[in-house]
Amino acid sequence: QSALTQPASVSGSPGQSITISCTGTSSDVGGYNYVSWYQQHPGKAPKLMIYDVSNRPSGVSNRFSGSKSGNTASLTISGLQAEDEANYYCNSYTSSSTPVVFGGGTKLTVL
Amino acid sequence: QVQLVESGGGLVKPGGSLRLSCAASGFTFSDHYMSWIRQAPGKGLEWVSYISSSGSTIYYADSVKGRFTISRDNAKNSLYLQMNSLRGEDTAVYYCARQKSGWANDYWGQGTLVTVSS
Protein backbone atom coordinates (compact mmCIF):
# COMPACT_ATOMS: atom_id res chain seq x y z
CA GLN A 1 0.00 0.00 0.00
CA SER A 2 1.67 3.25 -1.15
CA ALA A 3 1.38 6.32 0.99
CA LEU A 4 -0.19 9.45 -0.41
CA THR A 5 2.42 11.87 -1.79
CA GLN A 6 3.09 15.12 0.04
CA PRO A 7 5.98 17.56 -0.36
CA ALA A 8 8.58 17.00 2.35
CA SER A 9 8.65 20.66 3.28
CA VAL A 10 7.06 24.01 2.58
CA SER A 11 7.77 27.42 4.01
CA GLY A 12 6.26 30.86 4.14
CA SER A 13 6.51 34.17 5.92
CA PRO A 14 4.04 35.40 8.52
CA GLY A 15 0.90 36.72 6.88
CA GLN A 16 1.45 34.80 3.65
CA SER A 17 -0.59 31.86 2.36
CA ILE A 18 0.78 28.42 1.64
CA THR A 19 -0.71 25.29 0.10
CA ILE A 20 0.25 21.69 0.85
CA SER A 21 -0.68 19.08 -1.74
CA CYS A 22 -1.61 15.46 -1.20
CA THR A 23 -1.59 13.30 -4.31
CA GLY A 24 -3.15 9.87 -4.52
CA THR A 25 -5.06 7.85 -7.07
CA SER A 26 -8.62 7.24 -8.17
CA SER A 27 -8.75 4.46 -5.57
CA ASP A 28 -8.32 6.87 -2.70
CA VAL A 29 -8.20 10.68 -2.91
CA GLY A 30 -9.87 10.87 -6.31
CA GLY A 31 -12.55 8.31 -5.61
CA TYR A 32 -13.93 9.42 -2.26
CA ASN A 33 -14.60 12.61 -0.35
CA TYR A 34 -12.88 11.24 2.75
CA VAL A 35 -9.68 13.27 2.85
CA SER A 36 -8.57 14.58 6.23
CA TRP A 37 -5.70 16.81 7.32
CA TYR A 38 -3.86 16.71 10.66
CA GLN A 39 -1.45 19.12 12.32
CA GLN A 40 1.22 17.70 14.61
CA HIS A 41 3.61 19.71 16.73
CA PRO A 42 6.78 17.92 17.92
CA GLY A 43 6.09 15.55 20.77
CA LYS A 44 2.33 16.08 20.58
CA ALA A 45 -0.60 14.08 19.31
CA PRO A 46 -2.02 14.96 15.89
CA LYS A 47 -4.92 17.42 15.71
CA LEU A 48 -7.69 17.19 13.13
CA MET A 49 -7.78 20.35 10.99
CA ILE A 50 -9.94 19.36 8.00
CA TYR A 51 -12.23 16.38 7.39
CA ASP A 52 -14.22 15.14 4.42
CA VAL A 53 -12.06 17.25 2.04
CA SER A 54 -13.15 20.70 3.11
CA ASN A 55 -14.92 20.67 6.47
CA ARG A 56 -13.42 22.34 9.52
CA PRO A 57 -14.07 20.95 13.01
CA SER A 58 -15.37 23.46 15.50
CA GLY A 59 -12.53 25.39 17.08
CA VAL A 60 -10.22 25.23 14.07
CA SER A 61 -9.33 28.62 12.64
CA ASN A 62 -10.96 29.58 9.34
CA ARG A 63 -7.44 30.33 8.09
CA PHE A 64 -7.31 26.61 7.32
CA SER A 65 -9.17 25.36 4.27
CA GLY A 66 -9.23 22.19 2.21
CA SER A 67 -10.08 21.34 -1.37
CA LYS A 68 -9.71 18.57 -3.92
CA SER A 69 -9.22 18.37 -7.67
CA GLY A 70 -9.00 14.98 -9.29
CA ASN A 71 -6.52 12.81 -7.41
CA THR A 72 -4.95 15.70 -5.51
CA ALA A 73 -6.20 17.25 -2.28
CA SER A 74 -4.85 20.49 -0.89
CA LEU A 75 -4.60 22.22 2.45
CA THR A 76 -4.31 25.99 2.35
CA ILE A 77 -3.27 28.07 5.34
CA SER A 78 -3.80 31.79 4.95
CA GLY A 79 -2.42 34.55 7.15
CA LEU A 80 0.44 32.31 8.25
CA GLN A 81 1.32 32.55 11.94
CA ALA A 82 4.30 31.33 13.92
CA GLU A 83 2.19 28.72 15.73
CA ASP A 84 1.30 27.12 12.38
CA GLU A 85 4.83 25.75 12.18
CA ALA A 86 4.32 22.00 12.47
CA ASN A 87 4.09 18.77 10.50
CA TYR A 88 0.96 18.26 8.44
CA TYR A 89 -0.42 14.91 7.32
CA CYS A 90 -3.21 14.07 4.93
CA ASN A 91 -5.09 10.81 4.87
CA SER A 92 -7.79 9.24 2.78
CA TYR A 93 -10.13 6.31 2.70
CA THR A 94 -9.02 3.83 0.06
CA SER A 95 -10.68 0.90 -1.65
CA SER A 96 -7.61 -1.29 -1.09
CA SER A 97 -7.32 -3.98 1.59
CA THR A 98 -5.97 -1.38 4.02
CA PRO A 99 -8.89 1.08 4.15
CA VAL A 100 -7.00 4.18 5.30
CA VAL A 101 -3.73 5.56 3.95
CA PHE A 102 -1.67 8.52 5.20
CA GLY A 103 0.61 10.86 3.34
CA GLY A 104 4.27 10.98 4.29
CA GLY A 105 3.87 14.35 6.00
CA THR A 106 4.95 17.92 5.23
CA LYS A 107 7.06 20.05 7.53
CA LEU A 108 5.84 23.64 7.48
CA THR A 109 8.39 26.26 8.42
CA VAL A 110 7.27 29.81 9.18
CA LEU A 111 10.22 32.03 8.25
CA GLN B 1 -14.17 17.02 27.85
CA VAL B 2 -13.14 14.14 25.64
CA GLN B 3 -10.17 12.22 27.00
CA LEU B 4 -8.36 9.21 25.62
CA VAL B 5 -5.59 7.71 27.73
CA GLU B 6 -3.45 4.88 26.36
CA SER B 7 -1.44 2.49 28.49
CA GLY B 8 0.37 -0.81 28.20
CA GLY B 9 3.35 0.18 26.10
CA GLY B 10 6.89 -0.88 26.91
CA LEU B 11 9.92 -2.86 25.83
CA VAL B 12 9.29 -6.31 24.37
CA LYS B 13 11.52 -8.82 22.57
CA PRO B 14 10.91 -9.74 18.92
CA GLY B 15 8.24 -12.41 18.74
CA GLY B 16 6.71 -11.26 22.00
CA SER B 17 3.26 -9.93 22.81
CA LEU B 18 1.80 -6.79 24.34
CA ARG B 19 -1.70 -5.55 25.03
CA LEU B 20 -2.47 -1.86 24.74
CA SER B 21 -5.47 -0.25 26.42
CA CYS B 22 -7.21 3.05 25.83
CA ALA B 23 -9.52 4.48 28.49
CA ALA B 24 -12.14 6.85 27.11
CA SER B 25 -14.11 9.50 28.98
CA GLY B 26 -16.11 12.64 28.32
CA PHE B 27 -18.29 11.18 25.58
CA THR B 28 -20.61 8.25 24.91
CA PHE B 29 -17.98 5.66 23.99
CA SER B 30 -20.47 3.12 22.69
CA ASP B 31 -21.66 5.58 20.01
CA HIS B 32 -18.29 5.96 18.34
CA TYR B 33 -16.07 3.97 16.03
CA MET B 34 -12.46 3.90 17.25
CA SER B 35 -9.04 3.51 15.67
CA TRP B 36 -5.42 2.73 16.48
CA ILE B 37 -2.78 4.71 14.58
CA ARG B 38 0.97 4.46 15.11
CA GLN B 39 4.06 6.54 14.45
CA ALA B 40 7.56 5.09 14.30
CA PRO B 41 10.26 7.31 15.84
CA GLY B 42 10.94 10.25 13.54
CA LYS B 43 8.51 8.91 10.93
CA GLY B 44 5.01 9.62 9.69
CA LEU B 45 1.63 8.34 10.77
CA GLU B 46 0.47 4.84 9.90
CA TRP B 47 -3.12 3.67 10.28
CA VAL B 48 -3.31 0.33 12.11
CA SER B 49 -6.88 -0.75 12.84
CA TYR B 50 -10.50 0.32 13.26
CA ILE B 51 -13.50 -1.07 15.11
CA SER B 52 -17.14 -0.10 14.79
CA SER B 53 -19.19 1.08 17.74
CA SER B 54 -20.64 -2.38 18.42
CA GLY B 55 -17.44 -4.22 17.55
CA SER B 56 -19.08 -6.04 14.67
CA THR B 57 -16.93 -4.43 11.95
CA ILE B 58 -13.15 -4.49 12.14
CA TYR B 59 -10.41 -3.56 9.68
CA TYR B 60 -6.63 -3.95 9.86
CA ALA B 61 -3.68 -2.64 7.93
CA ASP B 62 -2.03 -5.33 5.84
CA SER B 63 1.15 -4.82 7.88
CA VAL B 64 -0.49 -6.09 11.09
CA LYS B 65 -3.19 -8.42 9.79
CA GLY B 66 -3.04 -11.80 11.48
CA ARG B 67 -0.82 -10.50 14.31
CA PHE B 68 -2.85 -7.72 15.94
CA THR B 69 -6.40 -7.90 17.32
CA ILE B 70 -8.53 -4.87 18.11
CA SER B 71 -11.38 -5.11 20.59
CA ARG B 72 -13.49 -2.94 22.84
CA ASP B 73 -15.52 -3.17 26.04
CA ASN B 74 -18.29 -0.59 25.90
CA ALA B 75 -19.25 -1.28 29.52
CA LYS B 76 -15.74 -0.25 30.58
CA ASN B 77 -15.35 2.56 28.00
CA SER B 78 -12.18 0.90 26.83
CA LEU B 79 -10.44 0.06 23.58
CA TYR B 80 -7.72 -2.59 23.27
CA LEU B 81 -5.03 -3.71 20.87
CA GLN B 82 -3.56 -7.18 21.37
CA MET B 83 -0.24 -7.34 19.56
CA ASN B 84 1.39 -10.72 18.95
CA SER B 85 4.48 -11.83 17.01
CA LEU B 86 5.94 -8.37 17.40
CA ARG B 87 8.72 -7.23 15.06
CA GLY B 88 11.24 -4.42 15.14
CA GLU B 89 9.20 -2.49 12.61
CA ASP B 90 6.29 -2.39 15.07
CA THR B 91 8.32 -0.03 17.26
CA ALA B 92 6.25 3.14 17.44
CA VAL B 93 4.08 5.41 19.51
CA TYR B 94 0.57 3.96 19.36
CA TYR B 95 -2.33 6.39 19.47
CA CYS B 96 -5.96 5.57 20.02
CA ALA B 97 -8.31 7.96 18.28
CA ARG B 98 -12.03 8.56 18.09
CA GLN B 99 -13.61 8.31 14.67
CA LYS B 100 -15.61 11.28 13.49
CA SER B 101 -17.97 11.08 10.53
CA GLY B 102 -16.48 9.31 7.59
CA TRP B 103 -12.91 8.22 8.28
CA ALA B 104 -11.46 11.21 10.14
CA ASN B 105 -10.20 11.01 13.72
CA ASP B 106 -11.25 14.01 15.80
CA TYR B 107 -9.75 13.17 19.21
CA TRP B 108 -6.44 11.46 19.92
CA GLY B 109 -4.78 10.16 23.06
CA GLN B 110 -1.26 11.16 24.05
CA GLY B 111 0.13 7.85 22.78
CA THR B 112 2.02 4.96 24.33
CA LEU B 113 5.47 3.87 23.17
CA VAL B 114 6.07 0.28 22.13
CA THR B 115 9.69 -0.73 21.61
CA VAL B 116 10.48 -4.10 20.07
CA SER B 117 14.12 -4.97 20.60
CA SER B 118 16.28 -7.80 21.89
Mean pLDDT, consecutive 10-residue segments, chain B of 118 residues? 97 97 97 97 96 95 96 98 98 97 92 97
Indicate whether A8 pLDDT > 70.
Answer: yes
Spatial neighbors of B89 by CB under 8 A, at least 6 apart, are: B40, B63, B116
Q: How many CA atoms lie within 13 A of A2 on its CB side?
A: 10
SS3 A39: strand
How many CA atoms, within 13 angstroms, populate the side-chain half-sphere of residue A53? 14
With bands split at pLDDT 50, 70 and 90, how would you rate the model's confidence at A34? very high
pLDDT at A1: 47
Question: Which of B70, B94, B105, B113 is the best substitution to test chain A (most A C-beta atoms within 10 A)?
Answer: B105
Using the Cβ of B8 and the Cβ atoms of chain A, whether some distance falls under 8 Å is answered with: no
pLDDT for position B76: 98
CB A17 within 8 A of CB A76: yes
Q: Tell whether A64 lies on the interface with B, counting CB pairs under 8 A.
A: no
Contact A36 B104 (CB under 8 A): yes
- pLDDT above 90: percentage of residues in chain A: 95
Residue of A nearest to B96 (CA): A45
